[in-house]
Structures are given as C-alpha cells and as structure tokens.
C-alpha cells in the first residue's frame, strides 16, 4: 500500500493509492456475491421456503461458485478452504433435492402397491421414510435411482434400517433410509455455509477508514460520514461538525477539515 500525504490548513489528509486493504480486501471482494447468496439461503431456511425458492437459491449458489472459482488465488489457502465449504454446502443441497424427488416418486409408487396389497402395506416399517430402498437378495433389480440414494446415505452416514417382507406375494429384505435424513442434509448445508462465512471473516481486514477529500460535495460527505452532529450555515460557508472533525464547505465543496 502506498500513501501520499497532503497538508491543507489545519488538517492532514491521507490520499491512499494502490490496494486499499491489501489481501483481505481482495479476498472479500472475490467472495462478496457468494457470501450474499449464502446469507440469503440461511435466512430463508429460518423463515421457510418453497421447493421452487429452494431450487432458485440452489442455482444461484452454483452460479456464484462457478464465477468465483477462476478468481481463487492458488497461494491463498483460506480462499480454497472457503470455496470448498461452499461447494460442500451446494452438494448437500443437491443431494437433498434428489432425495426429495425420489421420495415423492416412491411414495406414489408404494401407495399404488399398498392399495393392491393391504397385507404388504401392514408389514412396511412405519418409522422410516420410503427413500433409498435397496433389495439385498437381488442387487440386479436395484435401479440407478436407488443406487444413488444408497450412495448418498453412505456419504452422509444417514441412519438406515432393514426390513424383511415375508408374504404370499413377496419375500425379501430391503434397506430403508430412516426418517430425519432431510434435516440432516439441510443442517449440514447450513453448517458449511456458516463455516465458509467464518473462514472469510477470520481474514477480513479492519473496516475501510472514512475518507474526506478536498472538493467533495455535501452529499459526498454525508454519504461517507452520515449527517453531522451540528451544522452552521454562515452564508459563504457551511460548517459540518462531527465528533472528531469539523468540515468546512464553500460553494458546496470541501475546502478545509479540522480535527
């Protein structure tokens, strides 16, 4: 960082050139949009959202990850770590979405089967969700969908249960993913988003100092400093008084600053 000092009247104004906040600022800028999406997802999770909203946020997160990835500095481990956490959060959301769709399909399928076979319905486990079913005795009958669900269950160590059917119409053992898988996946996504934000916060530099420069307008100063504690309109000049400085305007522009 390079600074140039300019002395005017009773004050010294620092004009900063080059990188304003160095590496910390660079990292923050790279992840700004990604962090914004992550915070939106977390806030929406608290108040609840529709499946359509969930998928829109999921797409937004995926897009920002793809935009941010090429910007990552290979020499900054913290950036790679933060991006990795966002990727893990997205994976958990995608896996949750897949399992929800599969559950809806299986629920409709088994509703039809149970309607035709009441006895089989009575023997189905009530404590589990019909998701990620796998037949142990005849693996060739397993579908790609249930194979993926099984992989997801193993990946996140989701609780499973075995259930054996022994009826006139069907005999065999199936593995079910137990209830609660959805909360576990969503919880994991939230944890990864929080961890990513904390990782970036740890390297965040100090807040950018408020700057007052010669020639700034009244609106510029108010945008940078807020409204003054007191002000005095003396005709040819306007005085703004803040807690730590007094700004003088002439013809609507800063001409002097006193501390």
CA dihedral sign, ordered 80, 186, 110, 120:
positive
pLDDT band per the 50, 70, 90 thresholds, residue 237: very high
Q: Mind listing the pLDDT tens digit for each residue in 179-213? A: 777 888 889 999 999 999 998 887 765 556 778 88
Strand-pairing partners, residue 8, are 11
Q: Mind listing the pLDDT tens digit for each residue in 115-147? A: 555 555 555 544 445 444 555 555 555 566 777
Percent of the chain with pLDDT over 90: 26
Q: Mind listing the pLDDT tens digit for each residue in 76-94? A: 899 999 999 999 999 999 9
Higher-confidence position of 168 and 71? 71
pLDDT at 9: 36
CA neighbours closer than 13 Å in the CB half-sphere of residue 33: 13
What phi and psi, each to the nearest 5 degrees, are found at residue 10? -95, 10
Q: Given the structure tokens 């399909």, which residue do they identify?
A: 105
- Cα 224-19-61 angle, rounded to 5 deg: 80
| pTM of the model as a whole | 0.61
Q: What CA–CA distance (Å, rounded) separates 156 from 259? A: 59
Domains of the chain, by residue range, sit at 1-18+210-259
**Token pair of 198 as six digits:** 């904390």
**Token pair of 157 as six digits:** 């160590």
């Amino acid at each position: 960082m390079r600074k140039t000092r300019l002395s005017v009247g009773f004050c010294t104004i620092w004009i900063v050139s080059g990188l304003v906040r160095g590496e910390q600022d660079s990292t923050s800028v790279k992840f700004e949009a990604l962090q914004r999406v992550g915070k939106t997802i977390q806030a929406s999770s608290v108040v609840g959202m529709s499946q359509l909203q969930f998928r829109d946020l999921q797409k937004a997160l995926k897009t920002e990850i793809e935009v941010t990835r090429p910007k990552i500095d290979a020499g900054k481990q913290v950036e790679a770590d933060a991006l990795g956490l966002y990727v893990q959060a997205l994976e958990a959301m995608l896996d949750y979405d897949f399992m929800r769709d599969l559950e809806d399909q299986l629920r409709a399928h088994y509703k039809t089967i149970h309607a035709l076979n009441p006895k089989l319905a009575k023997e189905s486990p009530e404590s589990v969700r019909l998701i990620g079913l796998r037949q142990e005795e005849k693996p060739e009958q397993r579908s790609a969908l249930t194979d993926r669900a099984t992989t997801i269950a193993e990946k996140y160590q989701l609780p499973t249960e075995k259930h054996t059917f022994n009826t006139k119409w069907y005999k065999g053992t199936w593995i079910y993913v137990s209830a609660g898988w959805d909360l576990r996946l969503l919880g994991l996504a939230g944890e990864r988003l929080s961890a990513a934000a904390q990782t970036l916060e740890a390297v965040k530099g100090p807040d950018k100092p408020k700057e007052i420069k010669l020639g700034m307008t009244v609106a510029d100063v108010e945008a940078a400093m807020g409204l003054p504690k007191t002000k005095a309109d003396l005709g040819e000049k306007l005085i703004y008084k803040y807690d730590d400085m007094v700004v003088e305007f002439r013809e609507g522009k800063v001409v002097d600053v006193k501390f």
